[in-house]
Amino acid sequence: MSRVRVLVGTRKGAFILEADGKRENWTVSGPHFAGWEIYHLKGSPADPNRIYASQSSGWSGQVVQRSNDGGTTWEVVGNKFIYDGTPGTHQWYDGTPHPWEFKRVWHFEPSLNDPDTVYAGVEDAAIFRSTDGGQNWAEMPGLRGHGTGPKWQPGAGGLCLHTILLDPAEAKRMYIAISAAGAFRTDDGGASWKPINKGLRSQYIPDPNAEVGHCVHRIAMHRSRPNTLFMQKHWDVMRTDNAGDEWTEVSGNLPTDFGFVIDVHAHEPETIYVVPIKSDAEHFPLEGKLRVYRSRAGGNEWEALTNGLPQSDCYVNVLRDSMSIDSLDSCGVYFGTTGGQVYASADAGDTWKAIVHDLPAVLSVEVQTLQ
Amino acid sequence: MIRVVLPAHLRTLAKIQGEVLLEVAPPVTLRSVLDALEARYPTLSGTIRDHVTQQRRPFVRFFACEQDLSHDSPDSPLPEAVAAGSEPLLIVGAIAGG
């Protein structure tokens, strides 16, 4: 029987939640790496027992952990993230040049077919690749070097590369997103990159239609339609149907279109999910009601999903890497909150239940569907 | 033998119980002790000082013999009592975060 494994990164360690395909009874293991910030864990699609974890702290910097047995045991692998060549500068918050400095790994994206190949999105924004299971890392310098890098500026959370999407149909095509530079695409395996931000409009930058400078929070893709992407921008929910060449807004009837997470149903490529957050100044749900919004039309027409979610006095946030979808027949949707809850729905969002209530603030949620 | 005391989270990371004892050829300096520590426990590389700049991480402090050595040159000799093994070098995570 199929089962699911939910990998949860928090401010004070990692937790692994497991259940069978019914997703009713859960076991919880952890904290792994207690006391450390775990920005992200992700399993390899080619070998689900291979998991990479980003472990960091303000005291001790970055550590990379790797498991070969589904998170039961872990080993430390390489943590040398050294920018290629002379790093140069990006813009600081005040607009002055600031040298590129590695701070942490925000996101790991394992290769679709090789468990030893994994990509790391880091702060200050860059993409690294390892082809030996995380022991050694090399920057893919074409991204920072493509021309607009000196104009990039950090968002409130830092200049982070937080999203990496691998195109299952075109092996050399990848998408990444940076807060607050925007989205970028490579069609040649990472040698060269181009900004794909046409159609984004951001009132908080001097030129709202600029080529770069947009605070993209998250991008999601359905593997059957890799040219269609959905984006939760700082404000606005967007979609593209031509691999990012042009974006259109699909916020529609959302009560607020600020937010962080966005994801796509496992079996319905036009069904998408967001969690609206009141505003950039007030990082909590509108009216204290935690609502997931689902669109079955690829955007514009949204319905609130509230059954099982708190509908009063709820002031948590849902961070950008904190939603994930399993691929069981009845699609499961998961998200974590800064209040330490991980909510799960085993019926595509119709009803929700907290798997855990009292973890440290959740930074990331990834689910693996296992046979 | 040089005695080194690590903060708890680095002991956990390196799977160390108690003090670390290191053989370090003279002159015994912060750099030579950290080089020996990282050679013995590669998982600590990058956690105490930056891989590239070799600068101490901002929230890490080095104490010994009731002195704060954090701002000394990494090539200055450590106190004689540390070199003789009668006093430990303390690697401390600074109090931060409220």
Q: Which residues of B touch A62 (CB under 8 A)?
A: 46
Q: A interface mutation test: which of B11, B13, B49 has the most A CBs within 10 A?
A: B13
Q: Is residue B6 part of a domain?
A: yes
- Mutant choice from A76, A103, A139 vs B, greatest count of B C-beta within 10 A: A76
What is the percent of chain A with per-residue pLDDT over 90, rounded to a whole number?
Answer: 96
Give the domain CATH number at A103: 2.130.10.10
Q: Please check whether residue B98 lies inside any domain of the structure.
A: no
Q: Give yes or no for A62 touching B (CB within 8 A).
A: yes
Residue at A257 is within a domain: no
User: Does the pLDDT at position A18 exceed 70?
Assistant: yes
pLDDT per residue as tens, chain B (98 positions): 999 999 999 999 999 999 999 999 999 999 999 999 999 999 999 999 999 889 999 999 999 999 999 999 999 999 999 999 999 999 999 887 66
Q: Cα angle at A103 between A99 and A109, to 5 degrees?
A: 115
Q: What is the pLDDT of residue B98?
A: 61
Cβ atoms < 10 Å from Cβ of A25: 9
Q: Is residue B24 part of a domain?
A: yes
Domain count, chain A: 1
So what's the pLDDT on residue A229? 98
- Is this complex scored with an ipTM above 0.85? yes
Q: What is the DSSP code (8-state) at residue B11?
A: H
Mean per-residue pLDDT, A201-206: 91
Q: Compute φ and ψ for A151, nearest 5 degrees.
A: -90, -10
Distance between B62 CA and the closest CA of chain A, angstroms: 13
Per-chain mean pLDDT for chain A:
97
Distance of CA A52 to the CA centre of its chain: 14
pLDDT tens, A61-100? 999 999 999 999 999 999 999 999 998 999 999 989 999 9
The reply to whether A176 falls in a domain is yes
**Structural domain that includes position A182:** 36-214
The pLDDT mean for chain B works out to 95
Using CA atoms, how far apart are residues A34 and A105, in angstroms rounded to an integer?
18
Determine whether the interchain pair B9/A79 forms a contact, defined as Cβ–Cβ distance below 8 Å: no
Residue A139 lies in a domain: yes
Check B96 against A58: CB less than 8 A apart. Answer: yes
CA distance A194 to chain B (A): 29
pLDDT at residue A156, as a whole number = 87
The pLDDT tens digits of the residues spanning A245-261 come to 999 999 999 999 999 99
pLDDT tens sequence across A119-177: 999 999 999 999 999 999 999 999 999 999 999 999 888 999 999 999 999 999 999 99
Residue A323 lies in a domain: no
Report the number of distinct structural domains present in chain B. 1
On chain A, the residues whose CB falls within 8 A of the CB of B54 are: none
A297 CB within 8 Å of a chain B CB: no
CATH number at residue B85: 3.10.20.30
Residue A232 covered by a domain: no
Query: In this structure, is residue A159 part of a structural domain?
Result: yes
**B7 in any annotated domain:** yes
